[in-house]
Amino acid sequence: MEQILFGYCRVSSTSQNEDRQLIAMAEMNIPEKNIYIDKQSGKDFNRPQYRKLLRRLNEHTILYVKSIDRLGRNYAEIQEQWRIITKEKKSDIVVIDMPLLDTRRGKDLMGTFLSDIVLQVLSFVAENERSNIKQRQAEGIAAAKARGVKFGRPPIPLPENFYEVYKRWRKKEISVKEAARLCKMSKSTFHDRALKYEKGA
């Protein structure tokens, strides 16, 4: 019986584009109706299209993914999904970017052993690269803050009467509630902006 081809694509958010993955699937001659796409984070496997795909996999199917990290965000998840696909579902799997990860080849003990070693190494590399990216991002943000770069939305400009109202509030002529009302702010916002003003921020 001829094996049925399936493809799985994942991007981390709806703003990212899956075209590169779809082009790779087309080059493998995978029918469009057999390609499943999830547009959300890989932090867990509560992904609707992935779950639908798993239900269709069996010993007569081949699953294609562009790269190993499409299966998960960390070493353990990638290993577990590989086990489910190949052991429980008995489906073959092909990682397009890594020809060594092709379960159709080397069905003997040595072939399986080599495939498992490559999978473990690549899973580790994928997780390690994500950790390095996060570390570089954190270091970049810290360096930018040290240079005085401000993150987040800029504060809303103070109303023209803020300083006059602030002085009256400080002299206890009016309550914080009244001061906030005159400035058209909430009490917490007025208090926060007053403290920043005192600190020269």
Catalytic residues: 12
- Determine the Cα–Cα distance for residues 194 and 163; give it in Å rounded to an integer: 9
